[in-house]
Copies of this chain bind each other. A is one copy, B any other.
Amino acid sequence: MPAVATREQIVAAADRLFYHHGYEHTSFADIAGAVGLSRGNFYYHFKSKDAILDAVIDARLAATRRMLEQWEAEAPTPAGRIMRYVEIVLTNRADIQDYGCPVGTLTTELAKLEHAMLGQAGRLFTLFREWLREQFILLGHAEQADELAMHVLAFSQGVAVMANAFHDEAFIRREVDRMRQWLHTYER
């Protein structure tokens, strides 16, 4: 098997395990077991656990960019695109109830570990932030676009934490509806 396929398998398994059980709680043995490799063989593909985390973050950044591009292709209006982001807490409801937001929980964990890769993880947030900011500019609110983007981000993080804590689907739907109404007041 070519090395690139194995490497991608490792990144995919690590991505899933980091999300489900956290970075620190995921061991080399866990990832190796998920992929079906021996532990020791790992260092042929990644020289350290941090390197795997780095690759996982890069993969998430790339996947996020693809998702944003798809949203831009599918949703014609800026407001519709913003709603695609808002509705992600419904789209990924099952995972969020079980594991929270992949971006928020990773950033929170790395902050507590004082991990060197915290800044890299923050780029995931920044990617969404700047994309949302762009949508608000297109919506005609250039002067407060960044503040509105941050508000939408805070919404998603708050809903994710509460959904994870209480497993309440009706709550998620109510908050999405509230956000939809809020967004209407900013449509031209």
Beta-carbon contact of B154 and A175 below 8 Å: yes
A: residues with CB less than 8 A from B are 20-22, 24-25, 98-100, 104-105, 107-109, 111-114, 122, 125, 147, 150-151, 153-159, 161-162, 164-166, 168, 171, 174-175, 178
Residues of B within 8 A of A158 (CB): 153-159, 161
Residues of B within 8 A of A174 (CB): 147, 150-151
Query: Shortest CB–CB separation between residue A44 and chain B, in angstroms?
Result: 28
Residue in B closest to A100 when the chains form the complex, CB atoms: B108
List 20 A-B residue pairs with CB atoms under 8 Å apart, sorted by A's residue number: A21-B114, A22-B112, A22-B113, A25-B113, A100-B111, A104-B165, A105-B108, A107-B161, A107-B164, A107-B165, A111-B164, A111-B165, A125-B166, A151-B174, A151-B178, A153-B162, A154-B159, A154-B161, A156-B158, A158-B158
Known contacts A147-B171, A158-B158; 11 additional CB pairs below 8 A are: A21-B112, A22-B24, A98-B111, A99-B112, A100-B111, A104-B165, A125-B162, A150-B168, A151-B175, A157-B161, A157-B162
Cα(A98)–Cα(B168), bound, Å: 29
Beta-carbon contact of B150 and A162 below 8 Å: yes
Cα(A174)–Cα(B154), bound, Å: 12
Residues of B within 8 A of A165 (CB): 104, 107-108, 111, 122, 125
Beta-carbon contact of A22 and B109 below 8 Å: yes
Residue in B closest to A155 when the chains form the complex, CB atoms: B158
Query: Shortest CB–CB separation between residue A139 and chain B, in angstroms?
Result: 18
Residues of B within 8 A of A114 (CB): 21
Cα(A24)–Cα(B26), bound, Å: 12
Query: Shortest CB–CB separation between residue A167 and chain B, in angstroms?
Result: 10
Query: Shortest CB–CB separation between residue A182 and chain B, in angstroms?
Result: 10
